Amino acid sequence: MCKAQPSKTFKNTCNLTFLSIRKMKFLVSVKDFMLKCARVWRVLRKPSKEEFKIIAKVSMIGMLIIGFLGFVIGVIMTLMKIK
């Protein structure tokens, strides 16, 4: 870490301050994110009708299972309160 000179006439000899280092790290992380997004964008394609139907069916089945589990847990909790 850089240290400032004890005398007021001398300026800090560091070229990079803590704030500029944080800015650089932020910019590098933004650049990495943008590169990853570009890589994903290059391999994207529109799904066919069959792929879309399969994805929709699987999603619907998953939502039904989660809803049913929530309903069963709610019924069990209600029955436990009654006793």
Q: Please write the tens of the pLDDT for every residue from 2-45.
A: 555 555 544 554 555 766 888 888 889 999 999 999 999 999 99
Look at 27 and 72; give whichever has higher pLDDT: 72
Q: What is the pLDDT of residue 67?
A: 98
Domain residue limits, the chain: 18-43+52-82
**Prediction pTM value:** 0.50
Look at 1 and 62; give whichever has higher pLDDT: 62
pLDDT in tens, 37-66: 999 999 999 999 999 999 999 999 999 999
Q: Output the DSSP codes for 19-77.
A: HHHHHHHHHHHHHHHHHHHHHHHHH--PPPHHHHHHHHHHHHHHHHHHHHHHHHHHHHH
Q: What is the pLDDT of residue 78?
A: 92
